[in-house]
Amino acid sequence: IGPDVIDIRKLYAQTGMFTYDPGFLSTASCQSAITYIDGDKGELLYRGYPIEQLATNCDFMETCHLLLYGELPDGKQKNDFTKLVTNHTMVNEQMQFFLRGFRRDAHPMAIMTGLVGALSAFYHDSTDINNPQHREIAAIRLIAKMPTLVAMAYKYTIGQPYMYPKNELSYAGNFLHMMFATPCEEYKVSPVLERALDRIFTLHADHEQNASTSTVRLCGSSGTNPFAAIAAGVACLWGPAHGGANEAALNMLGDIQKMGGVAKVGEFMEKVKDKNSGVKLMGFGHRVYKNYDPRAKLMQETCKEVLAELGLENDPLFKLAMALEKIALEDDYFVSRKLYPNVDFYSGIVQRAIGIPVPLFTAVFALARTVGWIAQLNEMIGDPEYKIGRPRQLFTGAVRRDVQPLDKR
Ligand code: ACO
């Protein structure tokens, strides 16, 4: 804590005072050296490196190494790390039976919350969160197994056999294989789509103390099993105000398309601005960014590349998204509130073009964010001064009263 920042712990110890800050609008919940956001500039750094440079010059495995260990790997470290992750891509066969308990039409995030939580029942040599070796192997297992679990959840919902990982493929390539190959047919991984997916993973890898990361920290602060703490993060991410926004944004674009497409954009925007309508422009706005989310810019570029590769340059939903953005960036409602597209505004269009079904979008986000969750969890537990998270409250209920006998109530 710097000299110009009040140490609230000391203040509390000296005065018994505490702060009231619903939604943590201005309260830091921890110290962290992992991810830095300057919301006014629209800047995002992982361990000091700008997201634009990482997304352009590095792949997701390098980004994972950076987030977990603090430094980008050299060639040998990258190979060793990738091999280590690759060695853990399979999940215990028992997981298939666990999956069978779900309805086939269950939401993939409902399935993922269960599957990730269930991992805590399997790996007894990586469940002690206070043991650094356990934490490290849990991190590798989680990063390695998330693509397998997401693909299994998908295959289960469409009734197809699960595809085992192919370890000669890249992290993103392997995910595409497990998603789209069948025992009857190979899936030829397109380098452009593989690179786009890898970029989606990098852009979503961490984002400091967002709701799901804070959930993981709070959950892990009790010393719980690390897989259980990450399952809590998956559950939190599901909400439409957080990771669920990519699915919500694409559904919103689909609805406007059904209403009449670009011609109806103005009418839709009037609804968004009417506070009584309850309609929000999904994929817009952010608690920290009061400028363009740098990830949204990169995602828009990726979107153009992917659509060009697939010959879908005239994709109506992409056109709609661009039209909405153009109006919003010139409209006083959005300008005065500093509302810009966030990462979810374009990521859904890219995922859909790759062939990922809409209900799976947030699960793909969870897959990518897992490294951030576990890096933040390990940073917290590795700090000798960490304490169990235990927010205070301002009590607004009844003051003391006496229980009356049943016949007198
Ligand atoms: N559409 C219309 N109005 C909006 C939007 C939006 N998407 N976002 C914020 N506003 C308005 C609010 O109504 C509020 O207006 P007011 O001052 O007149 O009351 C003002 O802008 C400030 O918004 P808050 O809700 O106070 O901002 P907060 O920081 O609490 O919420 C959030 C941020 C949840 C992201 C919000 O902007 C939102 O709901 N966006 C849509 C969902 C979304 O895209 N979520 C993804 C976030 S990024 C991520 O998780 C990866």
Minimal-distance CA residue to ligand 1 atom 15: 337
pLDDT attached to residue 63: 98
pTM of the model as a whole: 0.92
CA–CA separation, 68 and 47 (whole Å): 10
pLDDT attached to residue 235: 98
DSSP per-residue letters across 191-228: HHHHHHHHHHHHHHS--TT-HHHHHHHHHHTTT--HHH
200 pocket-lining for ligand 1 (C-beta < 6 Å): no
Catalytic residue among 65, 107, 286, 293: 286
Ligand 1 mean position, distance from CA 353 (Å):
26
pLDDT attached to residue 1: 52
Block means of pLDDT (10 residues each) for the chain, 409 residues, are 68 83 92 96 97 98 98 98 97 95 96 96 87 92 98 97 96 98 94 96 97 98 94 96 90 94 92 94 92 93 94 92 93 95 91 94 97 97 92 91 96
pLDDT attached to residue 389: 94
pLDDT attached to residue 137: 94
pLDDT attached to residue 4: 67
In three-state secondary structure terms, 284 is strand
CA–CA separation, 155 and 357 (whole Å): 11
Ligand 1 mean position, distance from CA 187 (Å):
39
pLDDT attached to residue 3: 63
In three-state secondary structure terms, 292 is coil
Minimal-distance CA residue to ligand 1 atom 37: 285
242 pocket-lining for ligand 1 (C-beta < 6 Å): yes
pLDDT attached to residue 271: 94
Ligand 1 mean position, distance from CA 301 (Å):
24
368 pocket-lining for ligand 1 (C-beta < 6 Å): no
Query: Which of 50, 380, 22 has its CA nearest to residue 223?
Result: 380
Report yes or no: 212 and 242 within 8 Å, Cβ to Cβ.
yes
